[in-house]
């Protein structure tokens, strides 16, 4: 940006002063006016033509508007122009300050002045005006660059927020789909878990229905003959129904029905809790109840191959994402069951306890253990030692992400060949503490 700092406006009513100043300032672009109104009109014209003056040189004592009033009117139009007063009498500083305030835009020289004195004052004021304009132009460019960069950052921030929201949705969908995948893999066993109690509920209901029908028919016949029948006739009617058998079997049948219904209710509730997508915020929850639900829904995976031992200590409410922790528990239980397949009947030990400001949950199996050469890879996504169709390699990776990244806890394991593996989860009681540490 080119800035012309050589334009100077001379305002004086004496033509001889104009001729003298023109000779002294021959290196400047000098324009002459002879009174205040003409000077103001010239300033306005120059502004309209975008050819501003850097400096006005004013005579203090002029007819009409004096130099002081002329400068006041000029500054209302262009407050940045510099001013040099030429006066035949001393111009007091307090007079300038009282009229214009504290400003560094004014210099004053006394007539008669020398060429050096005038040229130095004009050079100093025009240079200062140029430097101020250049600084302002650079500041404008900087502000424009900052505004453009800020807009870019705002756009990038919005895009990042959208991507983070998308990633959160995808991660949530992956966790939910993995839970549903686990339910799907256990579907046959869950159907068996529900079918068994339904079977004996149906069988006992058939007996109860028949026994109740016989009893109601007996009551009807007794009512018909009680009016004039002798005791022998009534006893004969009672003998047609096996009352001792009904008395012996009916309470047990009703109890079995109630137990079967309760078992179905328990399995269905555990399935609902596991498949629930959970909440966006961590909430206080019962960890032991989540463990019991995971054991209920995965019973078909371990019941035929291992005995379960539960050592669940009383725990305080834990602020967590309980649906996601339920997924972790289910993954570890199913993995333990798979590790004990093909061996003598094993043992699955599930424990919980308070550990300082954390709760610790462990799942120990008596399987074959994790080979030392792959222990460093078991938390890697898509790494699995199971045959095709039994594992995607996502279970332990997701479990680690849920425990470590989502809850700020730890997920570690201890494995001994031919003796089994123990996974230990530690979760802070007061809520998630996100961090980027790796599992042990």
Q: Are residues 358 and 374 in the same domain?
A: yes
Q: Quote the pLDDT of residue 352.
A: 95
CB 369 within 8 A of CB 415: yes
Q: Are residues 17 and 53 in the same domain?
A: yes
Domain closes at, from 72, 105, 136:
136
Cis geometry, peptide bond prior to residue 263 (ω within 30 degrees of 0): no
Q: Quote the pLDDT of residue 389.
A: 47
Q: Are residues 194 and 249 in the same domain?
A: yes
Q: Does residue 159 lie in a domain region?
A: no
Q: Quote the pLDDT of residue 168.
A: 73
User: Residue 96: which CATH number?
Assistant: 3.40.50.2300
Domain closes at, from 217, 240, 275:
275
CB 66 within 8 A of CB 12: no
Mean pLDDT in runs of 10 for the chain (440 residues)?
Answer: 79 92 91 94 92 92 90 92 85 80 87 89 92 89 92 89 78 64 60 68 75 75 62 65 74 76 72 62 89 86 90 93 87 89 90 94 92 84 59 74 89 88 93 52
What is the residue whose two structure tokens read 């001994």?
Answer: 416
Q: Does residue 1 lie in a domain region?
A: no
Distances (CA, A) of 158 to 152, 165, 167, 171: 10, 10, 14, 20
Q: Does residue 153 lie in a domain region?
A: no
Domain closes at, from 224, 259, 275:
275
User: Residue 381: which CATH number?
Assistant: 3.30.565.10
Q: Which two tokens stand for residue 417?
A: 């060949």
Q: Does residue 176 lie in a domain region?
A: no
Q: Quote the pLDDT of residue 432.
A: 82
DSSP E strands in 181-292: the ranges are: 283-285
Angle at which helices 231-239 and 187-225 pack, to 10 degrees?
A: 160
The Cα–Cα gap between 369 and 152 comes to 54
Q: Does residue 157 lie in a domain region?
A: no
Q: Quote the pLDDT of residue 176.
A: 63
Q: Quote the pLDDT of residue 440.
A: 38
Q: Does residue 198 lie in a domain region?
A: yes
- Domain residues for 377? 279-440
């Amino acid at each position: 940006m080119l800035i012309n700092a050589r334009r100077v406006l001379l305002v004086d009513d004496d033509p001889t002063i104009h001729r003298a100043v023109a000779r002294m300032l021959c290196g400047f672009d000098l324009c002459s006016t002879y009174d205040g109104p003409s000077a103001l009109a010239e300033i306005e014209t120059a502004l309209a033509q975008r050819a501003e003056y850097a400096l006005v040189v004013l005579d203090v004592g002029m007819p009409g508007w004096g130099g002081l009033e002329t400068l006041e009117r000029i500054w209302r139009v262009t407050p940045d122009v510099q001013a040099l007063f030429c006066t035949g009498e001393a111009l007091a500083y307090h007079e300038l300050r009282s009229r214009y305030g504290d400003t560094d835009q004014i210099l004053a020289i006394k007539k008669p002045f020398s060429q050096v004195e005038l040229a130095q004052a004009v050079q100093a004021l025009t240079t200062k005006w140029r430097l101020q304009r250049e600084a302002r132009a650079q500041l404008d460019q900087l502000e424009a660059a900052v505004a453009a960069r800020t807009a870019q950052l705002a756009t990038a921030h919005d895009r990042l927020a959208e991507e983070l929201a998308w990633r959160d949705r995808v991660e949530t969908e992956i966790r939910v789909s993995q839970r549903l995948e686990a339910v799907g893999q256990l579907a046959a066993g869950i159907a068996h878990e529900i079918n068994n109690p339904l079977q004996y509920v149906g069988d006992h209901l058939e007996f109860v229905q028949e026994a109740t029908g016989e009893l109601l028919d007996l009551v009807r016949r007794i009512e018909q003959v009680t009016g004039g029948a002798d005791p022998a006739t009534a006893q004969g009617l009672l003998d047609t129904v096996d009352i001792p058998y009904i008395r012996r079997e009916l309470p047990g049948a009703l109890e079995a029905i109630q137990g079967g219904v309760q078992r179905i209710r328990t399995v269905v509730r555990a399935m609902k809790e596991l498949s629930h997508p959970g909440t966006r915020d961590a909430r206080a929850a019962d960890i032991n109840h989540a463990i019991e639900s995971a054991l209920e829904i995965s019973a078909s995976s371990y019941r035929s191959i291992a005995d379960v031992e539960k050592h669940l200590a009383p725990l305080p409410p834990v602020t967590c994402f309980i649906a996601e922790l339920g997924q972790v528990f289910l993954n570890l239980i199913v993995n333990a069951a798979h590790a004990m397949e093909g061996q003598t009947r094993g043992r699955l030990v599930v424990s919980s306890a308070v550990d300082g400001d954390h709760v610790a949950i462990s799942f120990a199996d008596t399987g074959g253990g994790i080979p030392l050469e792959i222990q460093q890879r078991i938390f890697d996504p898509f790494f699995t030692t199971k045959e095709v169709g039994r594992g995607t390699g996502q279970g332990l990776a997701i479990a680690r992400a849920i425990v470590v990244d989502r809850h700020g806890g730890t997920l570690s394991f201890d494995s001994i060949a031919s003796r089994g593996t123990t996974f230990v989860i530690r979760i802070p009681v007061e809520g998630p503490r996100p961090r980027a540490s790796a599992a042990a």
